[in-house]
Structure 1
Amino acid sequence: MAAAAAEELGLLECKVCFEPYGLSGRRRPRNLPCGHVLCLGCAAALGGAGRRGLECPFCRRAWGSAETSDCLPLLQLLEAAGPAGGLPAAVAAAGPAGGAPAGPALRLALGGWGALVNPTGVAACPRSGRLAVAHDGKKRIKVFGASGTCMQQFGERGDAGNDLKYPLDVAVTLDGHVVVTDGGDRSVKAFDFEGRGMLAVREGFCLPWGLDTTPENEVVVTDSEAGALYRLTADFGKGKLKESQMIQSKLTCPRGVAVCQVSGAIAVIEHLKAKGPNNSSTRMKIFSADMKLIAQMDTFGLNLIFPSKIYAVAVAFDKEGHIIVTDVYNQAVLCLGKPEEFPVFKPIINHGLSYPVGLTYMANNSLVVLDGGDHSVKIYSSA
């Protein structure tokens, strides 16, 4: 089953030459700084012949030829697969047979290269079921209907009134407003679903990154550079900010954040700096609704408990209050349990993803995963 899944996904082949990756030689998988992967032979060809640099064939960003690095997740996947192929052994072994419920089925896939360009955030409207996706295309926000049809696009750079320079994350409020963190001018901006700019908060932030809404229709924002967590209270319909309050400080490069709609608990993902290449790690912190620290654990600590290293990027709470994370190291979505039982290890999706960077739940409990590897939004029916 694992070998068939890997073959179906094409995880083990270069998306430029479509040759299978290898552990050595010209077929060895190499990372570009933008996150895309290709084999060493294609990287050499694209950056050779007197060219000054290497242009990513997927997102067209230019990099120096010396900026590529080994893609360790794929190399470990190759080692684990062996001659027969397969998924990371530790995660696959801890699938449904290891005690987790049967995984949800892929119901719909949206976007793809050309429709979405390096997507960074996804959010669902709790009432209408519409999905808002932030990406690096000409119009920075795309709104999809429940059936997958693109209903609206807005946020073109330089367009007065709804300008978005570099969106990092997106959330949708209970009253139907799209809130975006803009790393380009270090602001938080709110729009209606027609794309009209309603509010822009530019004061007080160093680098706003992740955001989510609270049960009271407030917005929680991480400031990655300041190491802080803010709560914004606003009348989005009237475009009036009522209060911007720092509710947590002394965090380390916080990015992903999620608010439990049941308990008000807040989960934050910190990105920890480490000496030496390939030593980066993440840490999860769980706070109660009144911002008391409930639990925390980093990649090293999780690795002592779980069968595989975990590098969490996005986080969400399901309807029952379980903490759900995307793990880019194993191309998986995992359940880490409720805050009071954190951490447990229950894989939800362990195949079909290449670089999961976003996560949300729809009103009908469908799980939505933003896959930066193939520039798509994947919607899974509930298990």
Structure 2
Amino acid sequence: MIGLFHSGAGEEHENEMSHENASILIAKQVPGIDMVICGHDHHEQIAWFENTDKEKVLVINPKSRAQFLAEVVVDLKWNNEKKSYDKTLKPNLVQISDVQKSKAYVEHFTPLFKEVEAYVSRKVGSFKKSISTKDAMFGDSPFIDLIQNIQMDLADADISFAAPLSYNATIDSGELQVRDLFKLYRFENLLYTMNLSGKEIKDFLEFSYNNWFQQMKSANDPMLYISTTEKGSRLTTMFFNYDSAEGIDYTVDVSKPYGKRIKISGLSSGEKFDDNKIYRVALNSYRGNGGGNHLTEGAGLTKEELTTRLINSTTKDLRYYLMKWIEEKGMVDIKCDNNWKVVPEKWHDTASKKEYELLYGER
């Protein structure tokens, strides 16, 4: 019995399983499965777990972007006494980066490839400054502010939520082509506009930053959730769930525990922020449908309530609207408004410098 899941393994949280990445959870709790082949979290892994019947279950994850193939050789030997097969699983992750291209395949698709190449090379506009998602891992950044401001503009929203969808994407200053929009926005999410109360917005952010920053007791404590092995350092929580907000001014106190970190001083327009008031919020459809659990576990909404809060949804993906917005502007001067910051600031500065070098090397 083989489980083939578009769900990650689920080891990014030490003490709880994320329902978005639940392959290990299923392997442990659903008897009868021999192996689970999973994905979605982009980590390569071969691991064994014991289920409720005390049987070993294989979980194998071939990472992403066709870097590996998950190969499992299954040996079956008939056991006459048990009247069943004894099964031996031999897992392997096969690296395929050196596999030679098929000449016939390449020749067949070359005309279509050239057509796509011409499309993605079309000029959309220009950026005055270069932007990178590296900065977005540590605090407010021009990269995320660009997306936030476009979302607020498109949705006529009071507040916007957005996260970095790429770990290491850079868009250089100068001419912007269609291909660059896939760095700016990787996924085909729609833009949702939802009604959320001030308290739900705060609770949403508490949840987001809890999975983003650890609680620190000094400047020398770790801030991001980072694992370092002989293969290097990597984030162990999902950066595409690092949602920040635009439209409000607030601080994130990493010395405080979950639930007491976010302090909202007001709307960026100068108006008072009210926990009981309903605000018009722009966010992508993945988040609006409950992805990442920010609205459910964080803000406390049920899946049924999510649909009742939806005011509007675009008919095309966000990347299309980002492209149209940039085309209309022509030259875009991207700035970071620093509407939120991490405190204590000295702790944040020390940890950011150290952990930036761990993840990306020296600036």
Which has the larger share of helix?
Answer: 2
* Structure of greater Rg: 2
Name the TM-score, length of structure 1 as normaliser.
0.26
Name the TM-score, length of structure 2 as normaliser.
0.27
Which has the larger share of strand?
Answer: 1
Q: Flag the structure with more relative contact order, 1 or 2, with Cα contacts below 8 A and sequence separation at least 6.
A: 2
